[in-house]
Chain A
Amino acid sequence: MLLGPALTVSAILFTLGVVGVLLRRNAIVIFMCIELMLNAVNLAFVALSQQLGIDGQVFVFFVMTVAAAEAAVGLAIVIAVYRHRDTVNLQTINLLRG
């Protein structure tokens, strides 16, 4: 009954996350937009689990685990880069460009 509206909200939230990644230059804000995208996918999983069985909710559990690990490692990388460059602006960080 709420499946269709929940998937619509999930699609809108995911798109907002993508637009945020495309719009911003601050590495930490981009990380937050990635978390927003993961949450939108979680919402779709939970909405579909009503119809397709409880496994969708188990998957959300794993997505949350991966998101926690990703946030910890990603923010550690941001801190390490900030030490070298004194900025988190992605336009001035081109460590991999050789």
Chain B
Amino acid sequence: MVTVAFWLFSGVAILSALLCITRRSPVASALWLIATFFSIAGLFVLLDAHFLAAVQVLVYAGAIMVLFLFVIMLLNLGRPGPGDMKGATGRVIALVAGLLLVAELLILRTAVPPAQLRRTVSAVTELLRTQGPVKALAVPLFQGYLVPFEVASLMLLAAIVGAVVLAKRRV
């Protein structure tokens, strides 16, 4: 059952990613990318990351993609026009580079993580079962990773100020 759901979500994710990079209209690309993000959220659920699945739908499929669609429509890029695909040479280069990269990544997949890092699968599922998906993530986030968390908030502030300054009409 879990395996069937896994391959269903994987298939939808890969298919919609493929459609995302081949559709001519940027709006269609963005909508297919939203479908990919939803499928990846489903994969997160199957991989015991329930909280991250919710955040994925809220932040990626919700906030970030709405921002993309907003900019596409603000710049009026949704109208049909000549495609922005590269020519035959560019396509061949992209295909060869993609095949090489996927071969490399699949070879890398056989690497085994060092034994001292590895924990039994039941340890994490047990942690998630006893503490719940939110607490299991919140405790390390606010204890061991507190400084990176605060730095991330500063980075978001800088990004907000930077976005406003860059997009303002008269600086």
Query: Quick one: CB contact mask for A38-71 with B, threshold 8 Å, 1 for yes?
Result: 0100110011111111110110111011111111
A53 & B64 in contact (Cβ 8 Å cutoff):
no
Given the interface pairs A54-B127, A72-B163, A89-B84, the reply to whether A4 lies near B36 with Cβ below 8 Å is no
B: interface residue count bin: 35 or more
B102 — which chain A residues lie within 8 A by C-beta?
11-12, 15
Question: A36 vs B162: C-alpha distance in the bound complex, in angstroms?
Answer: 23
Q: Whole-angstrom distance from the CB of A90 to the nearest CB of chain B?
A: 9
Report chain B residues within 8 Å CB of A39: 36-37, 40, 60
Given known A-B contacts A69-B156, A72-B67, A79 and B98 have beta carbons under 8 A apart: no
Residues 137-165 of chain B: 1 if any A CB is under 8 Å from the residue's CB, otherwise 0?
10011001100100010011011101110
Contact residues in A for B118 (Cβ distance below 8 Å):
51-52
A36-B33, A39-B36 given; A19·B47 CB < 8 A: no
Per the CB 8 Å criterion, the residue count for chain A at the interface is 68
Contact in complex: A62, B85 (CB < 8 Å): no
Q: Is A5 located at the chain interface by the 8 A CB criterion?
A: yes
Q: Given A16-B18, A32-B20, A73-B166, A5–B119 Cβ distance below 8 Å?
A: no
- Chain A nearest CB from B150 CB (Å) reads 12
Tell whether, in the assembled complex, residue B21 and residue A16 are in contact, meaning their CB atoms are under 8 Å apart: yes
Most buried by B among A18, A48, A75, A78: A75
Contact of B40 among A19, A42, A49 (CB under 8 A): A42
Residues of B within 8 A of A82 (CB): 75
A56 nearest CB across to chain B (Å): 9
What's the nearest-Cβ distance from chain B to residue A93, in Å? 12
Pairwise interchain contact B20-A88, C-beta atoms closer than 8 A: no
- State which residues 30-68 of B face A: CB under 8 Å: 30, 33, 36-37, 40, 43-44, 46-49, 51-52, 55-56, 59-60, 63-64, 67-68
Report yes or no: A11 in contact with B106, Cβ–Cβ below 8 A.
yes
For the complex, give the distance between the alpha carbons of A55 and B135 in Å: 13
Q: What are the 7 A-B residue pairs with the smallest beta carbon separation, nearest first?
A: A20-B21, A69-B159, A11-B105, A76-B166, A22-B94, A19-B98, A76-B163
